[in-house]
Structure 1
Amino acid sequence: MSIMQAIRTFFFYLLLGTSSLLWCTLSFFVAPFMPFPMRYRFINVYWCRCALWLTRVFLNINVRVTGQENVPQIPCVILSNHQSTWETFFLSQHFSPLSQVLKRELLYMPFFGWAMAMLRPIAIDRGNPKAALKHVAKRGDELLKDGVWVLIFPEGTRVPYGQVGKFSRGGTALAVNAELPILPIAHNAGKFWPKTGWAKTPGTIDVVIGEPMYAEGTGPRAIAALNDRAAAWNEATQRALGSPGAPAASAESAAV
């Protein structure tokens, strides 16, 4: 990373952290009095757009979206690969209101966690996978019925660019049980915003929104088949975007 890029990255993180602290503090005092859709826009959409603006201006990282016409009118379960923090910013402001699975401990962080708690997240205990899976199913179904998008990263954690993680079945199980489709999304954010380190590479992140996928039937077999289709589509799309990734592992039953 060049000296100029290092300087730009420093100011990016400085402004990102400052804006986060100020916005979360303001939200803590203002947002509780807003109805949920307005509260979500105030806390998450506006700040995430600010974060993406800082990303464009200081890091020169842009985005190109294809497949927007595939987004259904009714909120459903979004399945996306996970490579960096960038896609969390992007998806949180692109689909509104949206809930996602996160570690319960994050909600205990002063101001940031308190603001997140007002966004109706699906907070889980990763130390208890079986209980976490049940909570995702129960809480996710409630949110979908309330017209809230549910974002699931089926790989469970950030995976380096060029690799594809195992897809757990929690997201597809939630969609099948709610009689809704999954909306598959693939991107190459990790190419420009790596999983680890501070260095960022200027460029254009490609985000591909696929056609909604419906299960063929119900029950465990239908869930597994849908999950395999989603994983195969994601791998193929990442390859089409230029990722040198290894073949995706077969989908296995695992905790979210």
Structure 2
Amino acid sequence: MTLTYKLRIVLLYAYFGLTAGLWCLVGVTCAPFLSTYRRYRLVAHSWCHNAIRATQVLVDIDYRVIGQENIPERPCVILANHQSAWETFFLTGSFFSPLTQVLKRELLDIPFFGWAIRLIKPIAIDRDNPKMALKQVAIQGHERLQQGIWVLIFPEGTRVPVGEPGKFSRSGAALAANAGLPILPIAHNAGSFWPRTGWSKRPGTIQVVIGPPLLAEGEGPRAIAELNQRAEQWIHATVKELESQV
């Protein structure tokens, strides 16, 4: 990694910090007077879209999307593998609007940032209480889907290293099955260019694959487990293929 590229990475993070503060201030000031859709576009979508654009320009990390034709017209539950911060920015700033996701409840208490995030109806969970967290995802997620909001879940629960797929939680599959809606599986290899920890980056093109929607076959715990397994197998297999191409 050259010195010039390292400086560009520093510039990228400086851009993130400065613009995030500005966006949060504007969001907290203006969003309470806007509809849910316009609030989401102002607070989350626009900043994340610009973050992805800055990543392209400053550190030469581009992306390619395959399978956009698989996106259903009606909002549903999105399950994606989690390797870095990039996919959070990308999925929030791309074609799903409005969108909410599961996050730690503590984030909502951060001045300005947390206040702004609170305005876009996140599913805030208590990670220290897994049983309560599952209940929160089920109740709040169902409410969001009924309101026409996409629900993004990273079923691995945390960022995992490249080549080490994590075990999937069933919360997303249960939410989709109980709502009678499909899971939209998404796989990517962002971690190969944007590692889960540290500031290092690698120029290149991230591959994002959107799979066909998956519906539960039947009802009850067995159907939920089978749906989750299908999503997990498809995502892990697709990620493995993408990583082999880097």
- Give TM-score scaled by structure 2 length: 0.98
Separation in structure 2 between the aligned mates of residue 46 and residue 144 of structure 1, nearest angstrom: 22
Other-structure match for 1:56: 56
For residues 102-133 of structure 1, give each alpha carbon's deviation from its aligned partner in whole angstroms, at most 9, with x where no partner exists: 00000111111110000100000100110110
- Within 5 Å, give how 1:31-46 maps onto structure 2: 31-46=31-46
Other-structure match for 1:249: none
1:157 Cα offset (Å) = 0.3
- Within 5 Å, give how 1:71-220 maps onto structure 2: 71-94=71-94, 95-220=96-221
Other-structure match for 1:252: none
Separation in structure 2 between the aligned mates of residue 219 and residue 243 of structure 1, nearest angstrom: 37
Other-structure match for 2:223: 222
Two-structure CA RMSD over aligned residues (Å): 0.9
Amino acid in the other structure paired with 1:155? E
Q: Is the 8 A contact 2:194 2:201 kept in 1?
A: yes
Q: Is the 8 A contact 2:192 2:243 kept in 1?
A: no
4+ residue runs of structure 1 moved beyond 4 angstroms? none
Cα distance change, pair 161–152 in 1 and its aligned pair in 2 (3 A): same
Q: What is the aligned length?
A: 244
**Structure 1 unmatched runs, 5+:** 245-256
Separation in structure 1 between the aligned mates of residue 178 and residue 244 of structure 2, nearest angstrom: 33
1:162 Cα offset (Å) = 1.4
Amino acid in the other structure paired with 1:241? L
Q: Is the 8 A contact 1:77 1:152 kept in 2?
A: yes
Amino acid in the other structure paired with 1:53? R
Q: Is the 8 A contact 1:48 1:89 kept in 2?
A: yes
Amino acid in the other structure paired with 1:146? Q
Separation in structure 1 between the aligned mates of residue 25 and residue 81 of structure 2, nearest angstrom: 31
- Give aligned-pair identity as a percent: 60
Amino acid in the other structure paired with 1:242? E
- Give TM-score scaled by structure 1 length: 0.94
Amino acid in the other structure paired with 1:36? T
Amino acid in the other structure paired with 1:167? F
Amino acid in the other structure paired with 1:72? P
For residues 82-109 of structure 1, give each alpha carbon's deviation from its aligned partner in whole angstroms, at most 9, with x where no partner exists: 0000000000122110010000000111
